[in-house]
Amino acid sequence: MRRILLGLVCALTVFMDGAPVTAGSAMSEELRTYFLVLRHIRDIYIDELPPDTLMHAGVRGIVRALDPASEITFDEMADEGGAGWKESSISFETIARTIDKRSFYKVGADTLIRFGIASVMSILDPDTVFMEKVFLESFNIGVRGEYGGLGFRIQVIRPDSAIAVWSLLHKETPAALAGVKSGDIIIAIDDTATTLMTASDAAGKMRGLAGTPTTLTLKRAGVEEPIDISIVRAKVHVESVPYYGMLPDSIGYVKLDQFQQDSSSEVRTAFENLIGRGMKGLIFDLRGNGGGLLQEAVKIADLFLPKDRLVVFYAGRAYKDTSRYKTSHRPIYGEGPLVILVDGASASASEIVSGAIQDWDRGLIMGSPTVGKGSVQQPVPIGDRAQLKLTIGAYFIPSGRSIDKRMRKDSTLLALSSKKFRTRIRNRIVRGGRGITPDIATSHRRRTPLFAQLAGWRTLNSQFFRFARQANVNHPDLTPDFVADDRILDEFRRFAKEREFDYLSDLEFQLKRLEERVVKEEEMEKLGKPLRRLKEEIDEIEEKHWDANEEIIKWKLSFDILEKAFGLRAAYAYDAGVDPQILKAREVLGDPVEYESWFQRLEIGVADEDVVAAATDTSNLETRDAGLSGVVPAVPEKANSNR
């Protein structure tokens, strides 16, 4: 089925006077789901899309369900105005029912329509997602912060094709209380072998109603025979703050992993504890935090900013009035020195908090530019089996700038704003449309090829994990202040060698390609000696790579061994004392002169000498009123509905 002439199907539609081809109830049910998705896109999606554009995308999807290589044209449908919603809906339904009933390839109605929905999603932004029940469950856990289960993170590992207990959430989970340890290998769940299970499959079998039992069969380091552990499921709370503590010089440190229900309460508790212990400066770590609930972001900003300060507002095509969120209480940490750490994985709610702090000149942002996810998603139920997470608007932070990088699903950047805005207190220049640019640019530890290979592809075959799970057995005298030394490093290298780990540097890879191209025997005889000598030299270079990576390998060994032996809090406590970005933040917070100097920069993220001329050019500087309104984007008069 290489080409479909849509005009022929449209002719069929006209001939039947709008009545779709009769088909079974399965297709009717799936079509109801499809049109419900499209109705919400039509009514509240951030951009208004022509009906025929969505119809074409849906048709391409169901055609690809039959043959991924299929092509389709819509020439016969083209006209100046395009098809309206009714015409497009009838055309799509007719095509779907015709294919379902008459196609040579037999594909289930649910598959056809899911391909159609997926194709529609592909022309929207990356954050608009259609989630079936299995993915919806994980999404809801991230929002609620709790679920009925056992309380640990899992990972598929190779070459066992087994499920590993990657880390325990905390010491009070049902699994931890029953005796499950981080590093255990789950070989069966209720007598069902985990071999070839996906992580989602395993998680689905282990989750369930609180109060119901399950039995795990485990393989544990240092124990020859498998262990059966029976566990009663319970409601498990996923902590938003995995660690907080006091660093030297009375600098507080709080790490926030996600913005879920009650995250602000956890952060408040951490702040109150540190303030009570005499905190003189604070590092608030949002690195790797992909966001979450808007209201929690506002509540956390409330901890830093005076009452009635604007935190964020948003607007969209379907909403004539913007929604504004302000602080509502006196801050509990409203004046002390503050550094917020961000990186290329900090998104959404993380950007709202860090952006509000930056726009009100309340603290310094340190790290690397954030994701630029400044869009608003609204969860929309699609029956009882699915949910549409639909982008309905864009966030704007107090300076009036949008932080959203408008992207397609293929990561194509639609636009990059160069408009200038001003921070609200110090009048510094900031720019919109590019996420949050840090005041102070710093970078993570550099992941080298050797480190990446030791860590394993997506951690599926991590030498670090394998070594760390046995460390407690090999070193029963471990203490929470353990730090990997040369002896542990040598032990790790022997361990990796015994497991047949073979580091492949770029040089060795190129040499192997060269050897593969030497096909003639006489060529090999001629080049054999030089190639062997070259291999020896590459081996020497690779040995130097081990020396060059000594620091980062020791750090990873220390972190993983501490986590396996004493839990995540112990690992984070160690990391907070050696992380280069945290050390830099401590340095800035400990020097009032340097801390203040960063607020004197003319433009955030740009050296002063590069912006002297631009700083006096206000031709593209957004203006705002004297109040807290910010810059309110125009909302089209054609809005279909109001929230």
**pLDDT tens readout for residues 469-514:** 999 899 999 999 999 999 999 999 999 999 999 999 998 888 888 7
Whole-angstrom distance, CA of residue 120 vs CA of residue 85: 15
Q: Which is nearest to 70 in space by CA: 117, 19, 112?
A: 112
Give me the catalytic one of 359, 404, 560, 575: 359
Stated pTM of the model: 0.81
Averaged pLDDT of the chain = 83
What percent of the chain shows pLDDT beyond 70?
81
Which of 150-154, 500-504, 625-629 has the lowest average pLDDT? 625-629
Q: Would you state the pLDDT for residue 314?
A: 86
DSSP string, 158-201: TTTTEEEEEEES-TTSHHHHHT--TT-EEEEETTEE-TT--HHH
Which of 295-309, 349-363, 417-431 is predicted with the least confidence, judged by mean pLDDT? 417-431
Instruction: Look at residues 120, 127, 128, 134 and name the one whose alpha carbon lies nearest to residue 33.
Output: 120
Tokens of 130: 């259609």
pLDDT value for 144: 54
Annotated active-site residue 373? The verdict is yes
Identify the pLDDT of residue 618.
Answer: 36
Nearest CA to 422 among 404, 440, 397?
Answer: 397
Q: pLDDT digit string (tens) for 328-384?
A: 999 999 999 999 999 999 999 999 999 999 999 999 999 999 999 888 888 888 887
What average pLDDT does range 28-44 have in this prediction?
91
Q: Which of 88, 182, 348, 368 is catalytic?
A: 348
Asked if the model's pLDDT at residue 261 lies above 60, the reply is yes
What's the rounded mean pLDDT across residues 217-232? 95
Please give the structure tokens belonging to residue 302: 């409330």
Q: What pLDDT was estimated at residue 416?
A: 53
Average pLDDT score over residue span 152-161: 83
146-237 and 243-375+399-441 have identical folds:
no
Where b means 16+ CB within 10 Å and e means fewer, 324-346 reads bbbbeeebebeeebbbbbbbbeb
Q: Above pLDDT 90, what percent of the chain?
A: 54
- 618 CB-near residues (< 8 Å, 6+ apart): 420
Catalytic residue among 181, 255, 299, 373: 373
Q: What is the CATH number of domain 146-237?
A: 2.30.42.10
Per domain, the residue ranges of the chain are: 6-124, 146-237, 243-375+399-441, 449-578
98-107, 198-207, 293-302, 397-406, range with greatest mean pLDDT: 293-302
Nearest in space to 166 (alpha carbons), one of 415, 373, 465, 377: 465
Quickly state the pLDDT bin for 196 (edges 50, 70, 90): confident
Q: What's the CA gap between 512 and 521, in Å, rounded?
A: 16
Instruction: Pick from 38-42, 105-109, 636-640 the range whose average pLDDT is largest.
Output: 38-42
pLDDT at 490: 97
Residue 359 annotated among the catalytic residues of the structure: yes
For domain 243-375+399-441, give the CATH superfamily.
Answer: 2-enoyl-CoA Hydratase; Chain A, domain 1 (3.90.226.10)
Residue 20 pLDDT more than 50?
no
Predicted pLDDT at 642 = 34
CB-based contact 272:332 (threshold 8 Å)? yes
